Amino acid sequence: MNKIKSLTIATKNNHASKNITQQDIQSLGTTLEQLDSWNLVLNLLHQFFNDNPQPLDKEKVMSEYYVCSKLFTNFHKDFYQLSKKINRQMKELQQRDKV
């Protein structure tokens, strides 16, 4: 059987604190890594919408705009799901018994 490591955190005054397992920390870390994985794509989107090449190639702009809209739609959907997930994880940790 796998043992789950437990991390006990005490406050400055040695009051009881929440019992947080290593698995809880890894789960939060994984969720944050998933959010962080969007950095490159978001930087590309930012660059696309802030660059104003002269003169404009309408066909190129239209095709790039379509691609960027699809990327943003996927990001928005994923970000919404991950936000709900991390909020749920945080609520679970907040409701844990103190040790």
Task: Quick: pLDDT tens for 22-67.
Answer: 888 899 899 999 999 989 888 888 888 887 667 777 888 888 888 8
In a domain, 99, yes or no: no
Helix axes 39-50, 58-94, angle to 10 degrees: 140
Tell me, yes or no, if the pTM score tops 0.75. Answer: no
Question: Residue 35 sits in which domain range?
Answer: 6-94
Question: Can you list the positions of beta strands (E) in the chain?
Answer: 6-8, 19-21
The β-bridge relationship of strands 6-8 and 19-21 is antiparallel
pLDDT at position 15 is: 62
What's the total number of domains in the chain?
A: 1
The amino acid at 73? T
In a domain, 35, yes or no: yes
